Structure 1
Amino acid sequence: MADSDFLSSMPPEIIEKILVKLPIKEAVRTSVLSRKWKSSWASIPDLVFSANTIESQLIESVDKVLQMHQGPILKFEVALRTDQHVPEEAINRWLLILSKNGLKDLRLIFKFDGDCRVPSSLFSCHKLERLEIERCTLNAPQCFQGLKLLRDLTLAVCYLKGITIEKFVSVCPLLESLTLLGIVNQDCIAIRAPNLKQLDFLGPFNDFLLETPKLISATISTYGLPFAFSDFSLPNDGCNSKLLRAMGALSNIEKVKIDSDFCQYLASGLIPEKLLVTFHQLKWISIVLDDRTKVIDTALCIFQKAPNLKTLCLKLPSQIIWDQQRITSISFPKGLEVVVICAFNDVVSLLEFAKFILSTAPQLEKLVIDQWGFDNLDDRMGFLIELASFPRLSSKAVILFDVSCRY
């Protein structure tokens, strides 16, 4: 009786905080605790379904909870951990209910590689601020006018039907964070987003355009898939430099990570003598290079316009052996504090490059070297002994080995 009285006397806001922390299945079970708890679960604003059950049980559970729920639903998530297929009519039924309950955060994460379809009723959820969709076909209506409150969008392994990434992003004016992973049927990527601050893109493309003046952090990778970078597929407004179109307006960028294919894409157009913008805020960059002159010139163009760069992670394909002239042709900002060198296969080239960094970086604090290129401990120790005896321009510089390049 005392326990029952204690549970019954809890303030509603405390009960809600407890229920929100529980899986929805357990939250429903709390209805047996006391009379006051009997219907408390039916008003919690966050509904999260993570199921390993069979399809019919999952659909039945979601339907029942939505039918019994009272009040606003601010977050709705279905995250399937097994290869389950949820029919489009079931998703449509859920979305129609959610669109009338003030939904702000929607996550539909499917693990099934088949054709899971998210119907156009998704776009009637006008109060959405966060949207994450994984492994599905996303149908957009022809009259789609955007999600005006959306700030965070993640699309992973999705097929877009009736809309392009360019259109989707352009009609979400408040978008600040965008993650695109393995998007199908979107060969030309144009992102025009005046308020975008973070971009993560992984996937193939033919052409790439960024008009994101507030972008702070960007990771761009192609999965190593070969695509035809030679043609301008997007309107270029007379600009023949892919480097300018992709990075020429990123005046607020602080962190950039690009792989070798994207670097080759940037180098496939006209390389300007210098960029019009100076990356005053750029402090961290990870870039993959090879020994092609245009790729080096592209990197130089970026480095020379990043006067405040602090951390550089430089990766090179293992089959490339750089000569001394090529190594010393790169001009790095003088304020570098951390330099990470990854994927050198030739120890002699690695040694020369490390010496070059030590002799030209007056503010260097750490030189981190990936161990991948060393066959055994003796090689690593011999390398370290030789490098340790080399003079350093910075009195603070230390040399570290790392088992992998995690920067």
Structure 2
Amino acid sequence: MEADRISNLPGSVIDHILSNLPMREAVRTSVLSSKWRYKWATLPHLAFDNQCFSVPFQDHTDVENKLVAIVDHVLLLHNGPIYKFKLSHPDVQGIPNMNRWILHLSRSSIKELVLEIWKGKRYKMPSSLFSCHDLIHLKSSNCLLKPPLAFKGFRSLKSLDLQRVTMAQDVFGSLISSCPLLERLTLMNFDGFTHLNIDAPKLQFFCTGGAFEDISFENTSCLTVISIGLYVNVGDKRRAYSNYSNLLKFFVRLPHIRRLEVQSYFLKYLAIGIVPGKLPTPCVHLNYFSICMNFNDVEEVLTALCLIRSSPNLKELEVLARPEEQVAAVTFTNYWKDDHWSSPFNQLRQVKIGGILGIKPELNFINFLLLAAPVLETMSVKPASNRGGWELTKELLRYRRSSRQAEIIYLDP
């Protein structure tokens, strides 16, 4: 008889094959031979997502029923520890069985938990979640977090990703400060709290976007990558006392920042209070800076100028204008004029500028960069519309450049 090569595969090879299969296909390998029959039941990584289903469904109720049946079947027959559990499907709403599944996982030394619930009202996490003391990575969406009083934090957690999440102000503060090993934090579209108090001594990556009033950092000397988007326009809000500056407060705890993205209206937040010509301590490690700004807003321009002056080692700069706010100014001041002599960018090589209308403040900024960057290689310019594109191109080509190799690339909108 011909040798049964499938049955005679080493156990490590079988485990590797199963770990790279969708959950549905891994379970179906049980028909291959007696050796494979219950091999899938020892898989430490379980993922229930779109790949669990091979046919389309009529509505989300049908999806949920099928999903519940599959997860119940797998957990019932599973034998061994579960280190990673993922549940994600675009048509899934709140599932009554979820509490039972999380309770089961909390007893299984779970290390990575991903719960992506895209629809329906906020799912209130059961108290059993907060007893998963071995968690290293937690990602959840559309949920309500309310830890029990006895919760002392996730002492092993290194990565936390929360999207469309609701929690109280004190819960957020204590949650972050009670994760001493936290290295990555993503927080998007949240409610229930408006002050982002980040106290995380090991944090290296921070990404947030939402409607908030204030942000502060404490014990964040390891933080190197930040992306922040403020989704509400703070308008002309100013502090009454003269020595206050959001800009100084924001950067005082960020000595090693390397990559910074300022999106939506966050530059307007930074412009509140006193804006110095330069930061007291320059951002010497910052090599990538992306900024969204209104070139006709004086405070935003001065804030952007302060940040650029304070980043002598920039290699990549990306600027996105907010064209919906940039009507042509009746009078304007060229804040960038002659500043290239005092603030040269000896490392700047790549510049991307998008969303511009071709108004004078924008052109002044482009002219400033071309003169201030002696090693610039490329500057790509993408306007907000095709109107006046040829005139804009001719204007840019007339500008003098300090870098002989600098190339200006015009991109169609």
For the criterion TM > 0.5, the same-fold answer is: yes
Provide the rounded CA distance (Å) in 1 between the counterparts of 2:289 and 2:76: 50
Deviations 1:278-301 (A, max 9, x none): 211101111123333332332233
Residue number in structure 1 paired with 2:12: 13
Does structure 2 conserve the Cα–Cα contact (< 8 Å) formed by 1:316 and 1:342? yes
Distance 1:387 1:264, change over 3 A: closer
Provide the rounded CA distance (Å) in 2 between the counterparts of 1:163 and 1:121: 20
Matching of residue 57 in structure 1 with residue 61 in structure 2? no
Does structure 2 conserve the Cα–Cα contact (< 8 Å) formed by 1:48 and 1:77? yes
Question: What aligned pairs does 1:3-42 form with structure 2 within 5 A after superposition?
Answer: 5-42=4-41
Q: CA deviation at 1:225?
A: 5.4
Q: CA deviation at 1:137?
A: 1.5
Distance 1:349 1:267, change over 3 A: closer
The one-letter code sitting in structure 2 at the alignment partner of 1:113 is G
Matching of residue 402 in structure 1 with residue 407 in structure 2? no
TM-score, L = length of structure 2: 0.87
Residue number in structure 1 paired with 2:59: none
Provide the rounded CA distance (Å) in 1 between the counterparts of 2:245 and 2:365: 30
Question: What aligned pairs does 1:4-403 form with structure 2 within 5 A after superposition?
Answer: 5-51=4-50, 53-87=62-96, 90-160=97-167, 164-211=171-218, 212-224=220-232, 240-272=244-276, 274-290=278-294, 291-318=296-323, 319-321=326-328, 323=332, 325-328=334-337, 332-335=343-346, 336-375=348-387, 379-403=388-412
Q: CA deviation at 1:229?
A: 5.8
Distance 1:265 1:350, change over 3 A: closer
Q: CA deviation at 1:151?
A: 0.7
Q: Secondary structure at the match of 1:30?
A: helix
Does structure 2 conserve the Cα–Cα contact (< 8 Å) formed by 1:141 and 1:162? no
Deviations 1:25-63 (A, max 9, x none): 221111111000011001011000115653233223212
Does structure 1 conserve the Cα–Cα contact (< 8 Å) formed by 2:234 and 2:269? no
Provide the rounded CA distance (Å) in 2 between the counterparts of 1:373 and 1:243: 32
Does structure 1 conserve the Cα–Cα contact (< 8 Å) formed by 2:157 and 2:181? yes
Deviations 1:236-266 (A, max 9, x none): xx98322222222211111111125211111
Provide the rounded CA distance (Å) in 1 between the counterparts of 2:137 and 2:112: 5
Distance 1:143 1:329, change over 3 A: farther
Does structure 2 conserve the Cα–Cα contact (< 8 Å) formed by 1:137 and 1:161? no
**Alignment RMSD:** 2.5
Provide the rounded CA distance (Å) in 2 between the counterparts of 1:2 and 1:111: 50
Residue number in structure 1 paired with 2:57: none
Does structure 2 conserve the Cα–Cα contact (< 8 Å) formed by 1:219 and 1:256? yes
Query: Comparing 207-216 with 149-158, which one deviates more in the overlay?
Result: 207-216
Distance 1:230 1:16, change over 3 A: farther
Q: CA deviation at 1:65?
A: 1.2
Structure 1 unaligned segments of length 5 or more: list them.
Answer: 233-237
Q: Secondary structure at the match of 1:28?
A: helix
Provide the rounded CA distance (Å) in 2 between the counterparts of 1:154 and 1:229: 31
Q: CA deviation at 1:109?
A: 0.3
Q: Secondary structure at the match of 1:328?
A: coil
Does structure 1 conserve the Cα–Cα contact (< 8 Å) formed by 2:93 and 2:120? no
Provide the rounded CA distance (Å) in 1 between the counterparts of 2:351 and 2:143: 40
Provide the rounded CA distance (Å) in 1 between the counterparts of 2:132 and 2:344: 48
Distance 1:118 1:199, change over 3 A: same
